[in-house]
Chains A and B, each alone.
Chain A
Amino acid sequence: MNCQEIPKYIQLYIDGELQETEKQQLAEHIECCPRCHRLVRIERQFKMIIIQKTRTIRVQAPARLKRRIRTVIF
């Protein structure tokens, strides 16, 4: 895997969707290429920031909804 190929694999890599062989090839490349290593790190940080900051506004379903569902179903 070379620097030109890396961008198209980054998304799959950080989402855990790469096949084992490709994963290994990408890992080997970024180990010795600071620029691609940085691209991967930025993309992963971006994903983490989305997850962390979105979680802070996650809400609990209203208790009345839970009651309503139980009443209607059971």
Chain B
Amino acid sequence: MADDQKTTELSEKEKQQLFEEEALPHLNALYNYALSINSSKQDAEDLVQDTFLRAYRFFHQYTPGTNCKAWLFTILRNLYNTRYKNYKKKPGKVHYDDYEEIYDFIIESDLDSSIEDPEQEFFHSILPEEIIDAINELPEEFRSVLLLADIEDFSYKEIAEIMDCPIGTVMSRLHRARNILKKKLVDYAEEKGVITAESRQK
């Protein structure tokens, strides 16, 4: 099938086949993202199912060969926003430190060290569950932007379309999300004794 063939020109069988090839392979990505923004597995499953239903209904609007994954995520996000419209809150005001403040203790304390890569110990001490807990505690819009950028590998422009917000908002949410995470992970490392409060004060 030629990539530029319009989906409106397809027979039902061809449409099904194209949907199988281009849309359904993104099921796992959509499901994982849905899990991260829903409170239950059932809600996540329902959201993904509704996403595919709507995608199939509006498949004539999709141009074969373009970014189907981003298109599906946009549909999922629209459904999520509509469904939770009544509960939707603006992202909470989060107090976060500047980049330099968070990492200065690592940078300054070890800059003259003979150790090749002194951050390694800190990074490797981080457990997957600590990262997940820290991500889950992020305000939803921040968590979404972080996951869409780092895990789903979308560009800022694609994330802006999915989240229906300006690119500048994507950038600032991503920056804030990462800073909050860093701060939490530094706190965990301190609790475990990987770094000390003294080194943090340096």
Q: Which B32-68 residues sit within 8 Å CB-CB of chain A?
A: 32, 35, 45, 48-49, 52-53, 56
Number of A-B contacts (CB under 8 A): 98
Q: Can you list 5 A-B contacts (CB < 8 A)?
A: A42-B107, A54-B147, A59-B31, A69-B24, A69-B53
CB distance from B189 to the nearest CB of A (A): 12
Interface of A: prevailing SS? helix
**B11 is an interface residue with CB less than 8 A from chain A:** no
Taking a contact as CB atoms under 8 Å apart, the answer to whether A65 and B49 are in contact is yes
Given contacts A42-B119, A46-B178, 15 further A-B contacts (CB under 8 A): A12-B171, A45-B119, A45-B123, A46-B182, A47-B150, A53-B127, A53-B128, A53-B131, A54-B147, A59-B35, A60-B28, A65-B49, A68-B49, A69-B27, A73-B52
Instruction: Kindly state the interface size class of chain A when it binds its partner.
Output: 35 or more
Q: With contacts A46-B182, A53-B128 known, is A11 near B52, CB below 8 A?
A: no
Q: How far is the CA of A41 from the CA of B155 in the complex (A)?
A: 21
A32 in the interface, Cβ–Cβ < 8 Å? Answer: no
Tell me the minimal C-beta distance from A46 to chain B in angstroms: 7
Cβ contacts under 8 Å, A57 to chain B: 128, 132
